[in-house]
Structure 1
């Protein structure tokens, strides 16, 4: 059995530990405590953690730009997979986005993350082949 609740900055250390232990998840300087606190404040209630008892066993981060939703860092501890946790996290995030009028969402999956890609395909998400994403880094730090 599991429960879901909004992620707070107090969950940061446990979530980062879970992310570091999950293949296919890439952490950057943008995932610092300060940046995550700012993200959570900008998108209140949209990022969630899954709990088994008191332990965080899953998470998803979600936000929006006013037009589109963006899901990030969906993960579930391997010992708690196949229990519906990932689906519950995604459904709750999408419902929260729909409540504010956002009906289209995106997620970025690293090309080498075959498990992640398989999950999203199995859920009916479509791989976009009609666009390329470009990034610009305005500092010397390439790990942003």
Structure 2
């Protein structure tokens, strides 16, 4: 994924069910993410259809994180999401990152099924807490 892909990527994300977009998904936010995590995020393209899938990955030096796996409805069930995930995990492994996390909204049953069907395990042994260090609440 390159920042030049942003308009096409955000168009796909805006159509995706179960994906919440925030200010962090702005052009500047995605530029910072891609700059901080070079070579770890990917798009899938189909001739004539443009970008039909996306995934973003990053790490903190110890653990990897996947975000925004999205596949256009017409391209689901043929391995696009699995291949995007495989590429991210391989790129993270090159960086020395062997354990990766992701967050799925509770209401997104399709995403929960996708990850569980691929061997990802839901964690019940900790809670996620967030703090917004801004007057804005949509970050």
What TM-score, normalized by structure 1, do the two folds share? 0.94
Task: Return 5+ residue gaps in structure 1 as ranges.
Answer: 1-6
Counterpart-to-counterpart distance in 2, 1:73 and 1:19 = 8
Q: 1:83 Cα shift?
A: 1.3
1:34 paired residue among 28, 47, 61: 28
Post-superposition CA distance 1:96-138 (Å, at most 9, x none) = 1111111000000000000000100000000010000000001
Provide the aligned C-alpha RMSD in A: 0.7
Matches of 2:2 and 2:94 in 1, distance apart?
Answer: 21
Map of 1:130 onto structure 2: 125
What is the match of residue 53 of structure 2?
A: 58
How far apart are 1:66 and its partner, in Å? Answer: 0.3
Deviations 1:62-99 (A, max 9, x none): 00000000000001000011111100000000001111
Task: Summarize the alignment of residues 71-82 of structure 1 with structure 2, pairs less than 5 Å apart.
Answer: 71-82=66-77
Q: Which stretches of structure 1, 4 residues or more, deviate above 3 A after TM superposition?
A: none
Distance 1:81 1:110 in 2: 19
Counterpart Cα distance in 1 of 2:12 and 2:33: 19
Residue matched to 2:78: 83
Give the C-alpha shift of residue 53 in structure 1: 1.2
Distance 1:59 1:31 in 2: 13
1:46 maps onto 2:49 in alignment: no
Aligned twin of 1:92 = 87
Q: What's the TM-score, normalizing by structure 2?
A: 0.97
Number of aligned residue pairs: give it. 138
**For the residues of structure 1 that align with 2:75 and 2:116, how far apart are their CA atoms?**
20
Paired position in structure 2 for 1:3: none
Q: Distance in 1 between matches of 2:95 and 2:14?
A: 32
